[in-house]
Amino acid sequence: MVVSGLFSISFMGIQNLIKVLYLLRLGYGLEYVGLFSATGALAYMAMSLPSGALGGRFGARNVMLTGGVITVFGMAILPMMESVPAWLTDAWPIATQVILSVGWSMYNVNLVPALMAMTTARNRNDAYAMNSVYRGLGTFIGTITGGLLPGLFAYTLGQTIDSPDPYRMALWVAAVLGVVAVVPLAMIGPIERVVVSDQVQRADAFPTWSVALLVLHVYLSMGAWATCQTFCNAYMDTDLHLSAASIGAITGVGQFIAVLAPLLTPGLARRYSNGWTLMVTTLGIGISLLPLVLAPHWLAVGIGLLGMQTLSAIWMPALQVFQMELVPSHWRSLAYGILSMAMGFTFASVSFGGGYMAAAWGYRSLFLLGAGAGVVGAALMWKMAKRTEPVIIGVAPGIEQ
């Protein structure tokens, strides 16, 4: 959880906020920004299944540590692009995205099964919720910090915020903090699986149909989320003409309120179910995009971001537990690898297609499409939750190496 928080400050907070603004200051257009984001998502998708296989072969801790180091390396080489030869300038950001996303896949894909292995049905929802809280808090701190860093470096360097140099320095700060995150990751010992008999229900066949439906739900739900995750910063920068500090503040307010939102997930899951929680939060994410469609104003963006960040913070731990309990234990790494591929493909398709759509028809058309995806995703989960029962494989209580 500490590692999640630290990586969230550096990678999910500072780096994710600054890298798009950095590329825009270097003169790249929306089409390139979309391609840039899509490349990272495709690399994450392609590495998801191998990451799960590597975790099963070499251990989750070892693969997570290797992935963390690769992630930091990818973060560190992006701000070097102004020093590379001219013929490499267009390819360099794409290459950094590939390296970064490969490392993040190795870390992130193995984190979820590792948490599942170290928890029981009694504390599972709480553990995933607390991990999301640490991530949310780290992302909030990183976003606020990232929004302030360009102005601080511009003042220090005697430049304006339209220059790429302040953003490059901010990316270096993110890389240094990523190194700090690797330290506690290296301190984690071998991960043992704690397996407690909750329900014994043998189901040796891979639940293909259930996983396929869940993949479709993830695509629609994250499609709604990804439209803003990928393009809201660019929208506020290019259309609303807000400063980096203002963008960081607007984004950070929603993240601050959303920090404790995952703590609602265990109670909702116990009272209703994880499936019901996924349905309601997905519907809310889609509806949260409507203010961005209706009003080209920073307040509308703030309201939409608040809704999406809060609801997605509840959605993610519910999805992780729902998916882990959906399949037998020996299929969990494969199933989460497939789900991670779906997440990567979602961001890739939204980023790549969304960049061209925003350039041709405007951001509001893109946000409207995302809202529709959220509504359809909620309807799918409503049908799925009615028909699908979680499968929890158990053995005698104890420690299984």
Question: What DSSP string runs through 56-70?
Answer: HHH-HHHHHHHHHHH
Query: Cα–Cα distance between 248 and 74 in angstroms, integer?
Result: 23
SS3 90: coil
- Look at the block and give the residue holding tokens 């009694």: 122
Query: CB of 355 within 8 A of CB of 33?
Result: yes
Which amino acid is it at 247?
I
Which amino acid is it at 242?
L
Which amino acid is it at 212?
A
Output the CA–CA distances (angstroms, integers) from residue 249 to 142, 225, 244, 315, in the order listed: 11, 19, 8, 23
Query: Cα–Cα distance between 383 and 19 in angstroms, integer?
Result: 39
In terms of DSSP bridges, do strands 398-400 and 193-195 run parallel, antiparallel, or are they unpaired?
A: antiparallel
Q: What is the pLDDT along the chain (401 residues), one digit of tens a residue?
A: 888 889 999 988 899 888 888 888 888 887 788 788 778 878 888 888 888 778 877 877 888 899 999 999 999 999 888 788 888 888 888 999 999 999 998 998 888 777 777 777 777 778 888 888 888 888 888 888 888 898 899 888 888 888 888 999 999 999 999 999 999 888 877 765 544 444 444 445 777 787 888 888 888 888 888 888 778 878 888 778 887 778 877 877 777 777 778 888 888 878 888 888 888 888 998 898 888 888 888 888 888 888 888 888 888 888 877 877 777 766 776 777 788 788 878 877 887 777 778 777 878 888 888 888 888 988 888 887 776 544 443 333 333 33
CA dihedral 64, 68, 70, 71 (to 10 degrees): 130
Which fold does the domain 2-194+206-389 belong to in CATH?
Growth Hormone; Chain: A; (1.20.1250)
| Residue count (the chain) | 401
CB within 8 Å of 139: residues ≥ 6 apart: 8, 9, 12, 13, 255
- Look at the block and give the residue holding tokens 């029981």: 120
User: Taking the domains of the chain in order of start, what are their residue ranges?
Assistant: 2-194+206-389
Supply the DSSP symbol for 199: -
Phi, psi of 272 (to 5 degrees): -110, -80
Helices (H), ranges, 26-123 = 30-58, 60-77, 91-117
Query: Cα–Cα distance between 274 and 277 in angstroms, integer?
Result: 5
Structure token pair of residue 90 = 């267009």
For helices 274-288 and 208-238, angle between their N-to-C axes, nearest 10 degrees: 30
Beta partners for residue 195, in sequence order: 398
